[in-house]
Structure 1
Amino acid sequence: MHIREHLANERTFLAWIRTAVTILAFGFVIEKFSVYLRLLEWQAGVASAPAPGTTAYLGVAFSAVAGLVVILAAARYQQTRRQIDQGIYRPSLTADMLLAAILLLVTVLVVVYLLRTALPR
Structure 2
Amino acid sequence: MIPHFSDFSANERTYLAWIRTAISLMGFGFLIERFDVFLVYTTRGAVLGNGLHMRASEWLGLGMILLGAVLILLATRSFYRNCRLIQSETEASYRGSAVERVLTALLVALALFLVLYVGYQLTSLQ
Asked if these proteins are the same fold (TM beyond 0.5), I'd say yes
Say how many residue pairs are matched: 117
What are the superposed Cα offsets for residues 49-86 of structure 1, whole Å, 9 maximum, x if unpaired?
Answer: xx961111011111111112112111111111110000
Equivalent pairs: percent with the same residue? 27
Alpha carbons of structure 1 residues 66 and 2: separation in structure 2 relative to 1, 3 Å: same
Distance 1:101 1:21 in 2: 19
Does the aligned pair in 2 maintain the 1:83–1:90 contact within 8 Å? no
CA positional deviation for 1:40: 5.0
Matched, 1:105 2:78: no
* CA distance in structure 1 between the partners assigned to 2:15 and 2:124 by the alignment: 42
User: Shift of the alpha carbon at 1:25?
Assistant: 0.5
1:84 aligns to what?
Answer: 86
Tell me, yes or no, if the aligned pair for 1:80 and 1:89 is still in contact at 8 Å.
Answer: no
Asked if the contact 2:33–2:62 (Cα under 8 Å) also holds between the matched residues in 1, the reply is no
Distance in structure 1 (CA, Å) of the matches to 2:124 and 2:13: 44
Q: Cα distance 1:61–1:15, how it changes in 2: closer, same or farther (>3 A)? A: same
> Could you tell me how far apart the structure 1 residues matched to 2:107 and 2:43 are?
32
Normalized per residue, the structure richer in helix is 1
Q: How far is 1:37 from its partner?
A: 2.8
User: Mind listing any 5+ residue stretches in structure 1 that lack a counterpart?
Assistant: none
Q: Is the 8 A contact 1:6 1:81 kept in 2?
A: yes
CA RMSD in angstroms comes to 2.4
- 1:96: Cα distance to partner? 3.6
- Judging changes above 3 Å, is the alpha-carbon distance between structure 1 residues 68 and 101 closer, same or farther for their aligned structure 2 residues? farther
- Per the alignment, residue 24 of structure 1 pairs with 26
Residue 119 of structure 1 corresponds to 123
Deviation at 1:106, TM superposition (A): 3.0
Preserved CA contact (<8 Å) 1:27 1:59: yes
Question: Distance in 2 between the 1:28 and 1:41 partners?
Answer: 21
TM normalised by structure 2 equals 0.76
